[in-house]
Amino acid sequence: MGGKRQTDDWISARAKAAGPPDFEVRYEAAGRALGEARRRNRGQQKGGCGCPILVEGRRDREALEIYGFTGPIELVNRGWDRSRMTAYLFEKYGVRNPVDNGASLILLFDWDRTGGQLTHDFNRRMVAFGMKLDTETRLIIARALKPEGRTVEGLAPHAHRLRSFIDTFDEDGAEDE
């Protein structure tokens, strides 16, 4: 008898960890996080603060561009080792964003094992330089959209549904289109 109860508790815990089951609630949470990231990413002339986003590769950048991101998007996969990449990002973007005094970078790696390792490693390296980073956006999106996929580029097919939620939380970005 205890085995079924433990299994039911385990399934319930897994469901809670996967995020809210309601499509609207999950997409709203992801839309809010992506909308805020898109607003911060936009250049100052367009009402943002030019906060760069660090992603794994070219297809991740293309997926973000589908969602209307127009600011700087830096790629980890450019043939540099992590030490060189960290030094480059520190030199280029500094400790804090000079416009809003917030995070100098948004780390938006996939929510798979490799993405988790990259997040941990870059966070550790950059915090050692005193950089303020946004890793929360990745966590929110991962929790909300895990059923849709485990990668940034994997979100592209959901653009038609997710874009309206993003535009709700970043109306200025919707006007840039």
pLDDT higher than threshold 50 for residue 1: no
pLDDT of residue 171 exceeding 90:
no
In a domain? residue 64: yes
- Mapped onto helix, strand or coil, the DSSP state of residue 27 is helix
Q: Which residues contact 168 (CB under 8 A, 6 or more apart)?
A: 28, 31, 35
6 domain-assigned: no
- Arithmetic mean of pLDDT, 113-122: 96
pLDDT band at 136; cut points 50, 70, 90: very high
Instruction: Residue 88: give its domain's CATH number.
Output: 3.40.1360.10
Tell whether pTM > 0.85: no
Residue 174 vs residue 169, higher pLDDT: 169
List, in sequence order, every beta strand (DSSP E) within the chain.
53-55, 73-75, 105-107, 133-134
The length of the chain is 177
The strand ranges marked E within 79-139 are 105-107, 133-134
Q: What is the mean pLDDT of residues 92-103?
A: 95
pLDDT number for residue 22:
80
User: pLDDT-derived band of residue 156, with 50, 70 and 90 as boundaries?
Assistant: confident
Q: What is the pLDDT of residues 88-97, one digit of tens each?
A: 999 999 999 9
Is residue 5, in this structure, part of any structural domain at all? no
Tally of domains within the chain: 1
Cα–Cα dist 161/177, whole Å? 17
Q: Please, are residues 110 and 84 in contact by the beta-carbon 8 Å criterion?
A: no
For residues 112 and 105, give the distance between their C-alpha atoms in angstroms, rounded to a whole number.
Answer: 20
Q: Is residue 9 part of a domain?
A: no
CA angle 52, 131, 81 (to 5 degrees): 70
Asked if residue 110 lies in contact with residue 151, where contact means CB atoms within 8 angstroms, the answer is: yes
pLDDT at 41 over 80: yes
Residues 12, 14, 16, 19: is their CA dihedral positive or negative?
A: negative
CA 67 to each of CA 59, 147, 159: distance values in angstroms, whole numbers, following the listed order: 13, 19, 7
Residues 6+ apart with CB under 8 A from 147: 18, 19, 26
Of 130, 97, 82, 129, which Cα lies nearest the Cα of 72?
Answer: 97
Asked if residue 18 belongs to a domain, the reply is: no
Whether the predicted pLDDT of 27 surpasses 60: yes
Q: Is residue 12 part of a domain?
A: no
Residue 49 — very low, low, confident or very high, per pLDDT cuts 50/70/90? very high
- Higher-confidence residue of 5 and 97: namely 97
Kindly state the percentage of the chain with pLDDT values over 90.
67
Boundaries of domain holding 64: 23-175
Q: Which residue has the higher pLDDT, 131 or 26?
A: 131
